[in-house]
Structure formats: structure tokens, C-alpha cells
Structure 1
Amino acid sequence: MDKFETVKCDINGGVARITLSRPQSMNALNVQMMEELLTCLQEVSRDNQVKVVVLSGKGDAFSSGGDIKQMLTGLDEQQFFTVMDVISDLVTTLYKMPKVTIAAIHGAAAGLGLSLALAADYVICGDQTKIAMNFIGIGLIPDGAGHFMMERRVGEVKAKQLIWEGKVMSGLEAEAIGLVDQTAEESQLAEKVDQLIGYIKQKPLKAMIATKKIYAELQEAKLIQSLQLEKQAQLNMRQTQDHQEGIQAFIEKRKPVFTGR
């Protein structure tokens, strides 16, 4: 699938390895990457030869999150809703796809990048990887079903506190609270992923996928509602003084001064 510029996909032996490929931007998710990734995931979902999907990032990071530079160009309301709809389709496709999915995180996974990773069935990361749901730093809330994904892994109260804090965690810290499933030394990450693939391929995959489909159907209404609530709340947050201050502070490389407005 070399037709994509920002996403690479290699299919071999029933395994699709999908790589986010904007290394010069730490794989920040711009509109092009989100659209290409969505198309790639949809095609892989329909490929009956694929049993396991591995999502990773090229270069120094998994993904630094949404592309703030693109955000600064100023999306109007219609463009904003269009982008949010792509994000919704992207996360829903990954969460529901009839394959066993693995997110292999190295370097960093933040914001929307973390929401995306948490949609996978297994999340494996390097022990020194930096993990952050850091929307709060620019006066926004998680999107990409970040609320849903965090809650299903650590529970509502802990998810809420992590979102409010926006803390940067190491892979080991994230594993300790159940946000990710396994950690490995950065140099051993690929080997750890291959071991998991080998384990999965020895299992009765039809039974595994049947279980996945049952959970996906049980949770589908909640996932859709979460995405809808995030879309409207994110639009509201983009109009706050705190968000404008957060963006300005980001540009000026200083600590923001929030006023709750």
C-alpha cells in the first residue's frame, strides 16, 4: 500500500504492520494522515488474510498527538466538524476491526496519539516511553474517544484525574496503573511485539474475534455517545480564553496562566 504518503502498510504472513510516517513531526496527526490511516485501516479490516494488526510510529515517537501547527491555521466550524468526524471514524474502525490489534509505542504517545493507541486490543510500550493525555495543557479535552478509552482501562475516577493532571508518565508508570498492558526495554520492543504475535497466531482466532465483537457491540452505543459529547465539548473549549492562552503559551514556550474562562 505505497499509495499513502503519511502511512506505510506491510502485510506478510497474516500480519499487517501499519506505520505512522511523519517522523519529521513526531508523527503528529494532521488531516492527511488521519484520512490516509482511516482508508488503510478500512482496507485491512476487509482483508480476510490479515489476522493481526500492529500499529507503530516511524522515527523517534509513536505520535505526539494532533498537529497543533495545523490547528493554528484556524479551522472554521464546518472544517472542525469534518475533522472530528474523521477522528471518530478512525477510532471506531480501529476499535471494532475484526482483527487482533496491537499498538507498539516507542518514544512518546500523547493526546490524540494516545487515544488512538488505547483503541487497540493490546498496548505495548518502551519502559522509558513518555505517555500523556495532555489536552489540558492547552485548555482542551481529550478527543478520539479518549474519555472512553481511558475509562475502560483505569476506571472513571482515575481516568478523570489523569486527564485533569495531564501528567507525563513513563511506560513503566503507565503499566503500573493498567493504562498499557506490557512494557519492554526500548531495544527489546520489536521482539516483545513479535512474541505476542506468535502467541496470538497459535490461538483459535475465530473465537478471539467473536469475543471482541461481543464486547464491541456491548460498548458501541457508549463509544458513539462519547465521540459526540467530545465533539461538542471540544468546539466549546476552542472558544474559551483558557484555550487561547494555552496556545499562546505553547507558541511562546512558556507556562500558561489559566483563569477558568
Structure 2
Amino acid sequence: MTPSDYIKYSLENGVATLTLNRPNVFNSFNREMALALQGHLQACAEDEAVRAVLLTGEGKAFCGGQDLAEATGPEAMEISEIVVQHYNPIILLLRQLNKPVIAAVNGVAAGAGANLALACDIVVAKETASFIQAFSKIGLIPDSAGTFFLPRLIGFQRASALMMTGNKVTALEAVQMGMIYKAFSENTFETEVRELAQKLAQMPTKGLAYTKQLLNETYQHTLEEQLQQEAVYQQKAGQTQDFKEGVEAFIQKRKPNFKGQ
């Protein structure tokens, strides 16, 4: 397998599918796969044909986090450098991407793999999937924005417990505690994921991007500041072609045909 094979890419009906493709090591990251994912996310941001991004894993796992064989070899990079060069850019690209990103967690998501999923806009999983903050088991701290997103998703106490114990969370438990959006059965997972991705790809892309930006900013704003930003982005949304199409479709009692413009 060459480095270019570590991320499988396809584009269909506006949905760009990025598949982590090192199944023999549970899709754990080496440098080549991390850089390849960065490149694909940048390309998705720039390609107007991409209206939504679907991130998933090949085989039985979503992502096992960092490939420890690469991180512990005689010429291995420092763990901190791996975080700075590999994972931090991926998380920022996911949050800055001006299109919705779905994480379709098809199996275990551990360590950086779990936090990679939680940084996406919508997380769905197979009922048989699981999430593990595995860092404490090898003496590390949660990275890839885990300490940022997880407490905001499930609360300080639960996040602290999961990070310190490294206990496994099933997909159904993750739904119940608000960690992820939905869990689907093994039989319906592929269909449900595709329907969700297709729905997002047919929606007003700029409006979704503005919503995403507001959600990014809400962590740093007061109520008054957030209200001001909502007014700013609502003005931008009101100037899009999709807003005009949405209003016309509503008046004409028909389904809107959004173009992402």
C-alpha cells in the first residue's frame, strides 16, 4: 500500500467520502495517513462540487488513534510533535471546513480516533461501535481536542471519568449521554449514513457553514456578543441564492432546489 492509498476518496452527488484505510492496524494513524487526510480536507474545502463530507473507516474499526509502532521506534518523532504536526491541523481543518462533516463510526474509535470523530459536526455510529479515551492506559493525556469537545458534549464529570479510567462507551451509551447524534443497527447503518449525508448535500450549504461558524464562536462569546454575531450571519444568509429559493419554494408549496450558493 502506498501513502496515497491510506485515505480512500470518492465524490458522489455532492458527498465526498473520506475512508481511513489501514484496516490491518485498525486504521491507526501514521504520518502519511495524517498528511493525506489533511490534504483531502483542504481539497474538499476548495471544491465547490463538494457539499458535504463523510468520514469513516475501512474494515471493522473507525480509527484506533496513533500507530504506536511509529511513535516509539528508534527514529520516532516526539509525541508532542506528532500532535502538533498531524492531529492539530486535522481538527482545525474539520472545524474550519465550510461544509458539514459527518463522522460515520463503523467500529471502535479509540484515543485520537475517538476525538477525531467528536470534532465533526454530526457523529453517528453502528450500535456495535464503541468510543474509548485510551490515553491514560499508556500514560498520556487526551489530545486532538478531546479535552475541548468531550466536556462540552457530556459534562465535566463524565468527561473526567472517561478520560481518567479509559472505560469503553458503547454507541448506545454515547447517544444517551449526548456524546453522539444517533446509533444505527448493523443492517441499516450504511443506508442511514448515506441518507443523512445526501440530505445535507442537498441543503443550503452556505447557511450550514454560517451555522457551523456560529457554533464554533459560541464557546468564546457572551450572550450579547452571540446575538450580535447571529445578526451578522443572518444578514449574510439572507443574501444567498438559497435563501431566495427557499422562500420561493415555501410560497409555491414545492420542494426547494438548493444550489449551495
2:81 matched to 1:82?
yes
2:26 matched to 1:26?
yes
How far does residue 213 in structure 1 lie from its aligned partner after superposition?
1.5
Look up the match of 2:47. Answer: 47
Distance between the aligned counterparts of 1:47 and 1:218, measured in 2? 27
Look up the match of 2:140. Answer: 140
How far does residue 28 in structure 1 lie from its aligned partner after superposition?
0.6
TM-score scaled to structure 2, two decimals? 0.78
Distance between the aligned counterparts of 1:157 and 1:12, measured in 2? 41
Look up the match of 1:186. Answer: 186
Counterparts of residues 85-234 of structure 1 (less than 5 Å): 85-86=84-85, 87-219=87-219
How far does residue 220 in structure 1 lie from its aligned partner after superposition?
7.8
Look up the match of 2:229. Answer: none
How far does residue 70 in structure 1 lie from its aligned partner after superposition?
1.4
Query: Highest CA radius of gyration, 1 or 2?
Result: 2
How far does residue 218 in structure 1 lie from its aligned partner after superposition?
4.4
1:79–1:132 Cα change, 3 Å:
closer
How far does residue 129 in structure 1 lie from its aligned partner after superposition?
0.8
Q: Is the 8 A contact 2:129 2:170 kept in 1?
A: yes
Distance between the aligned counterparts of 1:142 and 1:165, measured in 2? 12
Secondary structure of 1:186 counterpart? coil
How far does residue 113 in structure 1 lie from its aligned partner after superposition?
0.4
Structure 2 unaligned regions, length at least 5: 222-261
Look up the match of 1:4. Answer: 4
Counterparts of residues 233-248 of structure 1 (less than 5 Å): none
Q: Is the 8 A contact 2:13 2:198 kept in 1?
A: no
Distance between the aligned counterparts of 2:27 and 2:71, measured in 1? 15
How far does residue 159 in structure 1 lie from its aligned partner after superposition?
1.2
How far does residue 80 in structure 1 lie from its aligned partner after superposition?
3.8
Amino acid at match of 1:158: R
Q: Which moved more, 1:147-156 or 1:93-102?
A: 147-156
How many residues align? The count is 219
Percent identity reads 31
Distance between the aligned counterparts of 1:51 and 1:40, measured in 2? 14
What do residues 64-102 of structure 1 show as CA deviations (whole Å, max 9, x unaligned)?
1111111221566x7444322221111110122111110
Distance between the aligned counterparts of 1:112 and 1:74, measured in 2? 22
